Chain A
Amino acid sequence: MVSQNELIREARENGMDLLPLDKDTYELFFGPQHMATENFSIILKMDGHRVVKAIANPGFLHRGFEKLAEYRPWHTNIALLLRICVPEPDVPEAIYSMAVDEIIGWEVPERAQWIRTTVLEMARVSAYLFWIMGLSFKLGVYTAGQWAAAYRERLMALFEQLTGARVYHIYTIPGGVRRDIPGDKWLRQLKDTVEYIRSKLPDFDNLVFENYVAHRRLEGIGVMDKKFALAEGVTGPNLRATGVPYDVRRADPYLLYPELDFEVPVLKEGDALARALIRRFELEQDLYILDQLLEIGPPSGPYKVEDPRLKNLPRFKVPAGDAFAHVESTKGDFGAYVVSDGKHKPYRVQIRGPSIAHGVRVLEQLLVGARIADVPVILMSLDNCPPDIDR
């Protein structure tokens, strides 16, 4: 343990003026209103400006989605479950719909599959831009954050044309999608947007990902290794940053992903910098996937299954059974387990949010020994989505 005087001296050298409450440690409540924690609360035990112990304290966002889902007809649940992860609302829609499709035994038409894949990839790009915004703000590079928000706005506009809503799309439904794509003009606009965002990536590199100051802030903090990450159930970019090439799009292929060509970037360091770089590489891969999808073009045909049961949605029944479906989101492996007892409402829905693995136990362990200034950076490098935990 570093002595108290040393800690205070180190803090003063770093421009901080700290007055510990007692001789040894003091307690610091971090969040949930603090904007650096994004609606998440952590109770920190501090020694000077170093964290001695961290306790994740979820529950401030809890709205009981899973319980509410048992009270609603099958289709209206889409409008509820997508609120689980706001930066990437299409993922909960897709997993719930895929699980219901599997229980019923529906083969989703090709056109719907193309649209679902495109929407999921657009959601990934938009969520990564949102994440760049968050990380840049926490590192103090506000310019890059504002750029990212502005570029994301272009995707929001496209989503609005496609679904009628900017953030909560309510678009993917069991059996396909709610309505058809607006037309060729929309496809051209999407192509332009993909080109535009790609042309702006070097700016982000210069300002954030190759920036000396950003590297100093990210390098070597929040380090986890492969074994630890697997035992703790970490998935997605956080796991790939430790050297495990696990991506649901490759490991358990769904929709059009088996036909698409993309790389799964892997790094070995497992620190915050590696996690940030993985996300930067994946953003590029997602743009490349969108390119390919636009090149294939939407196949002709219906955009949802033609089934008489879809005519009367409030009385829509799903045969008894259960299914588990999962997709790769920007946070990790996002899954839904749905049980039906043959009635108008689901019997049980459980959402497997990726953040419940890396946002509670892993976070508590990675924060120990970190400086207070690193806490938001570690939190952001894990890309914690608190509503995943507080389902």
Chain B
Amino acid sequence: MGEVKWEREQMLVDKILEKAPYAEGKVRRERRIEFSIPADRIRDFLMLLKENDFELMLQITTVDWPNDGELELIYQMWSVTHRTHAMVRTRIPRDLDKARMPTVKDIYPVAETYERDAHDFFGVYFEGNEKMEMPWILDDTEQGLFPHRKDFDMLTYVKKKYKLLDRFDEDKDNYVI
């Protein structure tokens, strides 16, 4: 069903994969394509996307997969010319000293903001982004405290920080803060 219906998207994927043999790509649906690439080729691949008229970087999403011991980074790109959304997926180790990525702010300047966001909430360090050390949204300077990681215990943290919450019943099975 897909092949015939989404010819334009398939052609775009083929054109990009031809120049990037290290990547895997597929069409998800109309105007949605997806690539997964190794983490060390991310700069090459984003440069290639920029040459192929993907002008806008919509965001960088980080997803934590603690069972695999990995963090997934998804660079979400939009092409104004082709009217297509491309997700570029890559995985890096979850350990704090290994969760490092090269910055892409020289290719897409807006990436600087999203990289700061990923650093603040997930602890991914982007090499070459000089704003990494600058405090961003969180004012807590405790080491290794990355609130969007799945092993961050929000309830314990909140109770430690804001004593008020002690009065709530914590034996509830389905606790919703």
Contacts and interface: CB of A to CB of B under 8 A. Distances in A.
A105 to B, nearest CB: 11
Contacts of B88: none
Interface residues of A, number: 36
A232 B110 CA distance: 5
Interface-central residue, B76, B109, B113, by most chain A CB under 10 Å: B113
A335 B57 CA distance: 12
B154 A67 contact: yes
B78 interface: yes
A59 B139 CA distance: 8
Given A324-B76, A333-B58, A356-B113, A71 B177 contact: yes
Interface stretch (B5-13, B37-45, B79-87, B164-172): B79-87
A232 B109 contact: yes
A246 B80 contact: yes
A28 to B, nearest CB: 19
Interface string B143-164: 0000110000010000000000
Given A71-B154, A233-B110, A252-B83, A339 B63 contact: yes
B94 to A, nearest CB: 14
B136 A361 contact: no
Interface-central residue, A73, A233, A246, A347, by most chain B CB under 10 Å: A233
B27 interface: no
B138 interface: yes
Contact of B76 (A252, A352, A389): A352
B36 interface: no
B59 A350 contact: yes
Contacts of A59: 136-139
B110 A62 contact: no
A326 B137 CA distance: 24
A251 B108 contact: no
A298 interface: no
A233 B56 contact: yes
B58 A361 contact: no
Given A71-B176, A246-B80, A361-B110, A335 B58 contact: yes
Contacts of A68: 177
A231 B58 contact: no
Contacts of B154: 67, 71
B124 interface: no
B175 to A, nearest CB: 8
A274 interface: no
A352 B55 CA distance: 16
Q: Per DSSP, are chain B's interface residues mostly helix, strand or loop, or mixed?
A: mixed
A68 B64 CA distance: 15
Contacts of B56: 230, 233, 235, 333
Contacts of B108: 231, 233
B113 A360 contact: yes
A67 B148 contact: yes
A263 interface: no
A59 to B, nearest CB: 4
A326 B59 CA distance: 12
Interface in B40-55: 55
A244 B31 CA distance: 19
B74 interface: yes
A73 B83 CA distance: 33
Contact of A230 (B55, B58, B61, B147): B55
Interface in B83-131: 83, 85, 87, 108-110, 112-114, 117
Shortest beta-carbon contacts, A-B, top 6? A233-B110, A59-B137, A352-B59, A230-B55, A251-B83, A350-B61
15 contacts: A58-B137, A59-B137, A59-B139, A62-B138, A67-B148, A76-B176, A230-B55, A230-B80, A233-B57, A233-B108, A246-B80, A324-B32, A326-B85, A352-B76, A356-B114
Given A252-B85, A326-B58, A350-B59, 10 more contacts: A58-B137, A72-B176, A73-B176, A233-B58, A333-B58, A333-B78, A339-B63, A352-B76, A356-B59, A390-B137
